[in-house]
Structure 1
Amino acid sequence: MTDDRLIFDRAQLRRQRRRAASGFGGHDFLFRELAERLLDRLADIRQGFPLAADISPQPGFLAALRREIDPALGGIERMLAAGPVSPPPGAVGVVCEEEALPFRPGSLDLILSCLGLHWVNDLPGALVQIRDALRPDGLFLGVLLGGETLTELRQCLMEAELAASGGASPRVSPMVGMRDAAGLLQRASFALPVADSETITVTYKDALALMRELRGMGEGNALVARPRRPARREVIARASALYAARFAEPDGRIRATFQAIFLTGWAPAANQQQPARRGSGEVNLRDVFGSTC
């Protein structure tokens, strides 16, 4: 992808993740919550996976959490940690970019991704790489942040900056919408594609506490078009006041919305369940619903 089409500054993202790494344990609530939900979905699949890869931005996190919950979860025999930073000691892994996966075609039975793909510049291309790396009937299971994430913060920052300077800078990342998610899986030629979303609402003392949490998660602004100077104090103050006025709970804490979009897709295989041929139905809908259908 050419530079003029880049949305995210991946070098800046790596810097943010490195800065956040040492204190990530104090800000990992969202990653942990969504990782648990991802593993719950995996547990519902009654199939063995001899070789899996985790391409999440926190290498080894899913494997460690899986051991906490149930070492046999999901029938995984061996799991590689493949992410943007070195995996923890004892984890089998490789340092790589989500945008350039190092796996041979048809080499993996399962690929997992937790909260990394919303930072990819070419999401359709990344999904194609994932599908190509899977063996026939291999599974991709991922979760990324969706377009309704931080809607409250977006509104308040934009309005505060418009009032202060007459213009608004891009300060919160654009994210994929739920309506587009299943289509992206289909474009990448996954079989049996499914996309669904869940909403998590979290409360904070104030907007500044939310912003500190985002930095601690390594989820700060990494847009190519981001302003290179910090927001002016008057903008932050006005945004915080707007946030408190519009989105405070009865106890005074402000709420923040995170939309999690879960993606499930299988590498095509001859033995998979196939949709029925169009026109092959044997039940007349008039017999079910009457003559008004």
Structure 2
Amino acid sequence: MDKMPDLVDRTALARNRARAEPDALFLQEAVAGELQERLIEVNRTFKSIAIVTGFPDFWAARYPDATIVADDDALALEPAAHDLILHCMCLHWANDPVGQLVQCRHTLKPDGLLLCAFLGGQTLHELRASLAEAEAAITGGLSPRIAPMGEIRDLGGLLQRAGFALPVADAAPLTASYANAFHLMHDLRKMGENNALTDRIKHPTRRNVLTEAASIYSASFGNEDGRVNATFEIITLTGWAPSDTQQQPLRPGSATARLADALGTTETPLDRSKD
């Protein structure tokens, strides 16, 4: 059976990231702050941290004792070697997201923690809609421009498929303001998040398509001050490597206490005569 073609051109992605500018990495900064807050809430000392990232210098500066590895299709991590893995802002560029999570699961020690943050499906919905409308009107077709990103309702299941216990998925929108759509697209290049899809068009987009898209963007998503907003949806997956020490759900019918007693109320039997 032939292998499915990769959705993401990893060579182009590496090139885009190499051109990123440190002063434009505000998404990485936002995620770093969010993950740090979550680790404080966990209230556990982690002694062997691994970080999966496309921006090693940024994350190594914040976790100097961590093992930093690239988000390659095959992660350069040893089995059962770490008690914490931070998968930072790169799952949305993975050709095999479940495979990435499975590898993280095997890399964790029992009761080890995974925190995985990445861009979700509502990211850049304004730009996506504006480009699609402009291109359809001018060229009569559509080309892949923004990587498809997972929706929060589907992403919790990825952790379960990868074998994690106590899976949780949550999302938080981050809104940035730009002078216009051109400034947004320029900023995406500066943060290394521009188009790296395998099926992307390999020639510059026609100027009139971009101009029309900018006009549509301003008309549909403009602010009162003449600027435009751009949405970045940050999704965080939390999962634990299974361990015998973790709390386990009870079997149905095995309860030894009544809920009514715990609530201090009287239990009223259900009247089924009216069924």
The answer for the alignment partner of 1:246 in structure 2 is 220
Give the structure with higher Rg (CA): 2
The answer for the alignment partner of 1:143 in structure 2 is 117
Kept in 1, the 8 Å contact 2:69–2:77? The answer is no
Kept in 2, the 8 Å contact 1:195–1:262? The answer is yes
What TM-score comes out, normalization by structure 1 length? Answer: 0.85
1:262 to 236, 239, 244: 236
The answer for the alignment partner of 2:66 in structure 1 is 79
The answer for the alignment partner of 1:54 in structure 2 is 51
Instruction: Using the TM superposition, give the Cα deviation of residue 291 of structure 1 relative to its aligned residue in structure 2, in angstroms.
Output: 5.2
Percent identity of equivalent pairs:
45
Q: CA RMSD in A?
A: 2.2
Instruction: Using the TM superposition, give the Cα deviation of residue 4 of structure 1 relative to its aligned residue in structure 2, in angstroms.
Output: 3.2
Range 239-248 or range 270-279, more displaced:
270-279
Aligned residues: 267
Q: Aligned pair 1:13/2:52, yes or no?
A: no
Instruction: Using the TM superposition, give the Cα deviation of residue 276 of structure 1 relative to its aligned residue in structure 2, in angstroms.
Output: 2.4
The whole-number CA distance in structure 1 between the counterparts of 2:268 and 2:171 is 31
| CA spacing shift, 1:163–1:290, aligned 2, 3 Å | farther
| CA spacing shift, 1:197–1:287, aligned 2, 3 Å | farther
Q: Aligned pair 1:273/2:247, yes or no?
A: yes
TM alignment of 1:1-293, pairs within 5 A = 4-20=4-20, 24-65=21-62, 78-83=65-70, 97-281=71-255, 282-283=257-258
Helix, strand or coil for the counterpart of 1:263? strand
| CA spacing shift, 1:171–1:278, aligned 2, 3 Å | same
Range 149-158 or range 173-182, more displaced:
173-182
Kept in 2, the 8 Å contact 1:60–1:81? The answer is no
Instruction: Using the TM superposition, give the Cα deviation of residue 289 of structure 1 relative to its aligned residue in structure 2, in angstroms.
Output: 9.2
The one-character-per-residue Cα deviations of 1:207-227 (angstroms, maximum 9, x if unpaired) are 000000000011110111111
| CA spacing shift, 1:287–1:215, aligned 2, 3 Å | farther
Instruction: Using the TM superposition, give the Cα deviation of residue 198 of structure 1 relative to its aligned residue in structure 2, in angstroms.
Output: 0.3
Helix, strand or coil for the counterpart of 1:138? strand
Kept in 2, the 8 Å contact 1:124–1:184? The answer is yes
| CA spacing shift, 1:253–1:41, aligned 2, 3 Å | same
